[in-house]
Structure 1
Amino acid sequence: MSTEPSTEDAWLQQLLELGESGKAMTNKQRRIVQAAVEIFAEKGYSAASTSEIAQKAGVAEGTIFRHYKTKKDLLLSIIGPTMAKLVAPFVLRDFTPVLEASYAGYDDFLRALVRNRLEFVRRHLPVIRILLQEIPFQTELREEFKAVLMREVYVRVEKAIHHFQAQGQLIALPAFTVVRLTVSVVVGFLMTRFMLFPELDWNEEEELEICVNFIMNGLSAGPSVPRGEE
């Protein structure tokens, strides 16, 4: 039997370690946040009720409002620290060796990226579900997410793309287009793996290679794929 903490416990522990202004959550706050994560992930923000969260957390509903003024504040207290303090540093740490030309080609860059994201999603699936459910409807959340992506992630990936284009490994598409095409394949794989068909017997390394080959066959600057010809 595995001794690793559950996904919820591992994620919640990271949130507690992040803590705002160095203050650890109280035991009641911890139970409220954990209950909210589970219910938001299962039902979505709109369908969840504070009374249901309170019941699951084993606290009075009024206790929630002593810690969080509204249900939206509770949602943002879960997502905000993760986006601002967990996601960006996590991504930056993993992208640093890539941007220091540690890999010989864009395909190796992709392998490192996909392996990293597999582990990230595996560890933080509940909060990722909440993000995917709520980003289209929560303006503040969407703007924060976009700011983190553009400020902390995209500019670094763009640099790597320009590096591999300068080496003649990638076709001369705009960097944003390369990112969009790459993300479409990688996110599609992750969503299928963890959200649509998690019950399947996945060979992740084999699927990783399929994704890498699919992306590279479309983006490679090899002579067999002239620009503008089908």
Structure 2
Amino acid sequence: MTDPLEPWMEELIQGNEAGAEHKMTEKQARIFEAAIEIFAEKGYAGSSTSEIAQRAGVAEGTIFRHYKTKKDLLISIVTPAMVRMLAPFVIREFREVLKTDYDRFDQFLRALIENRILFLQQNRSLFKIIVQEIPFHPDLQHQFQKLVFAQVKVHFEKVVDKFKAEGKMVDLPTMTILRLSASTIIGYILARSIVSDKESSTWDDELEREATINFIMKGLAP
């Protein structure tokens, strides 16, 4: 665990927003960091508390003094990250994107993607854990729905309804447009994070980004 901490990890370890009394102990911080690394590398199902303890340099029993189960450890990582990092980021940055009056939906998509790339680069482990684990944990799905998706939906609807009213977009239900757009963009982001790391010489990010946006625009053309 020698790599620099990602911003969200440092924020939660230090407990800056929750008050100094919530700052983790040295052992808790090592457990927290080790769990994030292993969950991101192997997924929740492929990880074990013994492996986490070994990487953290603590006895396995120490983990269970702080967290009743491996699932509690996962929840203790993802939920506060969504509450204090991901949800505020989504709300704040969507407001910034929406301040601009876009003439076309592709301009909005381009601004949205560029706005998110830096955050994802700085918080890769958080993104990997959320993408890997949310489909398999209903409690995390509920938290994501309440804290993140609900905020995205409200802001996205305003933009989509504007373009539909102007006749610049196919008249599909807004949720369908959100699903189609989001799934395509997430596919680009996943490929970018996986392929570009291993085959940087073959990955043309600008080309892939524009192809993603053009694909969405053709599908949503009136």
TM-score scaled by length of structure 2: 0.88
Instruction: Evaluate the alpha carbon distance shift between residue 164 and residue 7 of structure 1 in structure 2; reply closer, same or farther with a 3 A threshold.
Output: farther
| In 1, Cα distance between equivalents of 2:108 and 2:31 | 39
Deviation at 1:6, TM superposition (A): 4.9
Deviation at 1:38, TM superposition (A): 0.8
Deviation at 1:196, TM superposition (A): 5.1
Deviation at 1:64, TM superposition (A): 1.3
1:54 is matched with: 53
Contact 1:7/1:122 (<8 A) preserved: no
1:26 is matched with: 25
1:226 is matched with: none
Runs of at least 5 residues in structure 2 that lack an aligned partner in the other structure: none
Deviation at 1:99, TM superposition (A): 2.7
2:109 is matched with: 110
Instruction: Evaluate the alpha carbon distance shift between residue 204 and residue 40 of structure 1 in structure 2; reply closer, same or farther with a 3 A threshold.
Output: same
Deviation at 1:8, TM superposition (A): 4.4
Deviations 1:3-28 (A, max 9, x none): xx957443411333556742211221
Contact 2:14/2:23 (<8 A) preserved: yes
Matched residues, percent identical?
Answer: 47
SS in structure 2 opposite 1:136? Answer: helix
The residue type equivalent to 2:7 in the other structure is A
Contact 2:106/2:213 (<8 A) preserved: yes
Deviations 1:100-123 (A, max 9, x none): 343332111100111122222212
Runs of at least 5 residues in structure 1 that lack an aligned partner in the other structure: 222-230
Instruction: Evaluate the alpha carbon distance shift between residue 161 and residue 17 of structure 1 in structure 2; reply closer, same or farther with a 3 A threshold.
Output: farther
| In 1, Cα distance between equivalents of 2:195 and 2:65 | 37
| In 2, Cα distance between equivalents of 1:10 and 1:86 | 9
1:199 is matched with: 198
Deviations 1:75-96 (A, max 9, x none): 1111001112211111111111
1:225 is matched with: none
| In 2, Cα distance between equivalents of 1:47 and 1:68 | 18
1:75 is matched with: 74
Deviations 1:190-217 (A, max 9, x none): 1111135631223322221111111112
How do 1:181-200 residues align onto structure 2 when only pairs under 5 Å count? Answer: 181-195=180-194, 198-200=197-199
| In 1, Cα distance between equivalents of 2:63 and 2:192 | 34
Q: RMSD of the alignment, in Å? A: 2.1
2:120 is matched with: 121
Deviations 1:160-217 (A, max 9, x none): 1101222222121111111111112101101111135631223322221111111112
Instruction: Evaluate the alpha carbon distance shift between residue 8 and residue 69 of structure 1 in structure 2; reply closer, same or farther with a 3 A threshold.
Output: same
Instruction: Evaluate the alpha carbon distance shift between residue 47 and residue 68 of structure 1 in structure 2; reply closer, same or farther with a 3 A threshold.
Output: same
Contact 1:35/1:56 (<8 A) preserved: yes
How many matched pairs? Answer: 217
TM-score scaled by length of structure 1: 0.85
1:148 is matched with: 147
